[in-house]
Amino acid sequence: MSTRLLPAPDMLIGKRFDVALAKMTGLSRAKAAELVASGSARVLGRDVDKAAVLLEGDMIEIDEHDPEPVAEPIATDMAIVYEDDDVVVVDKPVGVAAHASVGWTGPTVLGSLLDRGVHITSYGAAGRQGIVSRLDVGTSGLMLVCKSELAYKEMRRQFSEHEVVKTYEALVQGNLQEDKATIDAPIGRAKVSDFRFCITPAGKPAITHWDVLERFGEATLARINLETGRTHQIRVHFSSIGHPLVGDPMYGANPKLAQECGLQRQWLHAMQLDFRHPRTHVWTTVTSTLPPDLSHALDVMAQRRDAADLQQV
């Protein structure tokens, strides 16, 4: 419990204590009267009841009960696809954050693992222990968390030196002209929003390699490897070449196409992680499968492509 000390405002001098308290706190008059009666609201230096008149110079002290901590929701559908004494790799569902942050009230990878009794190293910033690489809330797929101190040090090094191979699949709008290419363009925070990023000379280096997997005419499925790991890198890079990810209106995607595909988020999934095991140094590969919403969107795109081909016959 904490207390709040407030001077009696000039405009409320001469008013009943309960009336003034209600105006000062935004509470109902009845609730304010309850606080006075219980002793949770009082005037310092004199004994008053709810009908007492406030005087110039009065200081009002109010007890405030700290809110009960709200339990973090748990991602019960988050699969563990690889685990040993050093690392755990999860298949993160959409709508799950990597770790807790200001304003986020949904489930997190870290919280859900701890709830299951998975030991996580204490190494790392508070609330982000064991995390050496993250995925956006709206991106699904593989994410590695460190269980041992040895793993945290080594995997942090591997990620920072770009030794880990991170393979994504993305469905982008339009028909990519080339079968494979590289986007090399620096990324920084956009001035128009704290949540958006953009191509800017002042940004950090960012390199994205892609290969076409399947063409649908109005969209293209691509396999993507990141040489760097900037926030929103894939989304920003493909938007910058005129091919935003399907379902990503923040970076220019057509919301109508997303709706017709049944998408409520960007079509992006972390499909594979390749890394050298931090203890054994054995090259390790972990793979994922597409979640239902992304698979459904591909089925819709294939049907639209086939229907368009039939019309041309």
Residues serving a catalytic function are: 136
Alpha carbons 103 and 208: distance in angstroms, whole number: 30
What are the φ/ψ torsions at residue 156 (nearest 5 degrees)? -60, -40
Query: What's the gap between Cα 81 and its chain centre?
Result: 21
Q: Which two tokens stand for residue 236?
A: 């920003």
> 35 to each of 11, 38, 154, 235, how far by Cα in Å?
21, 5, 56, 53
Among 163, 203, 153, 205, which Cα is nearest to 184's? 205
CB atoms within 10 A of CB 106: 13
| Strands 268-276 and 140-146, bridge-based pairing | parallel
C-alpha–C-alpha distance, residues 134 and 90, integer Å:
11
Q: Which amino acid is it at 152?
A: Y
The amino acid at residue 171 is L
- Integer Cα distance of 173 and 218 in angstroms: 6
Q: Where are the alpha helices (DSSP H) in the chain?
A: 17-25, 29-38, 109-115, 149-160, 233-240, 255-261, 292-312
Six-digit token string for 73: 């929701």
Report the DSSP beta bridge partners of residue 2.
64
Q: What is the largest CA-CA distance in the chain?
A: 93
Report how far residue 5's alpha carbon sits from residue 1's, in angstroms, rounded to the nearest whole number: 14
